Structures are given as structure tokens and as C-alpha cells.
Amino acid sequence: MGELSIRDLVEEGTLDFTLGDLDAAKEKLGKATDQDPDCFDAWLALAEVYLSERSLEKALESAEKAHALNNDELHINTTLSRIWVEFGDKEKAEHFAAQVRMISWKEELKNDPAEN
């Protein structure tokens, strides 16, 4: 079997995570970020894997890398809020939760049927 594409690594790593194989997920997602340090989806998935095993420092590091690539994305802001909840930092958790609400509102306004 040949080398997997970055997209395949992310998809298979995400599948491994959902099936509970965290080591395989981290390996594949790590390969994806090694091959493409700007792969938002890999950093986001890696943050979720680390958060699920309560490796909070690694989760935060991965989430911050994803956030730097796309700070206006709903899921990464949700993940960062959840990470800060786990750290017990209410102020930072609320900041990212507010970002999620603002992003959601922007999306609702874009899709407002009253404007059509």
C-alpha cells in the first residue's frame, strides 16, 4: 500500500478516534501535520483526540495551531472553550464560547430568508 494523502490521513485518523483507537489516530494525524503544518482539519482533530484523553497541554497546543490557521471557524472555537473549561479558566472559556455565538449569528444572518 502506498503513502496516504493528507486528506486520507485525516479521515482515517478521525475514524480511528471515533472507534476508540487513540494511538492510531494520533499517529495518522501527526503524520498529516508533519506533511502539512497548515492542515487545519488535522490540528482540530488532534486537539479533540488529546482533549478526549485529557492531555490538556497537547490539546491546547494543537487547538491553538488550528485557531491560528482559521480563527473564524465554529468548531475550533468550541474546542478551545471546552479546553479552557477543563483547565478551569472560566474567562477564557467564556471568551471562546462568545466567539462561537458570534460566528453562529454571522452564519444565520448570511442565510436569513427574510433577505431573499
Mean pLDDT over all residues of the chain? 94
pLDDT at 1 over 60: no
State how far the Cα of 32 lies from the Cα of 47, in Å rounded to an integer.
Answer: 13
Q: Is residue 81 part of a domain?
A: yes
Give 114's pLDDT tier (boundaries 50, 70, 90). Answer: low
Q: Give yes or no for a contact between 104 and 78, defined as CB atoms under 8 angstroms apart.
A: no
Give the mean model confidence (pLDDT) for residues 16-38: 98
Residue 110: what pLDDT? 85
Domain boundaries, position 14: 6-111
If one counts the domains in the chain, the total is 1
How far apart are the two ends of the chain, measured CA to CA in Å? 50
> What's the pLDDT tens digit per position in 30-54?
999 999 999 999 999 999 999 999 9
Q: Is residue 1 part of a domain?
A: no
> What's the pLDDT tens digit per position in 58-71?
999 999 999 999 99
Give 109's pLDDT tier (boundaries 50, 70, 90). Answer: confident
Q: Is residue 99 part of a domain?
A: yes
User: pTM of the full predicted structure?
Assistant: 0.89
Give the mean model confidence (pLDDT) for residues 54-59: 98
Q: Is residue 40 part of a domain?
A: yes
**Phi, then psi, of 9 in degrees rounded to 5:** -60, -45
State how far the Cα of 102 lies from the Cα of 35, in Å rounded to an integer.
Answer: 33
- What CATH number is associated with residue 90? 1.25.40.10
Q: Is residue 22 part of a domain?
A: yes
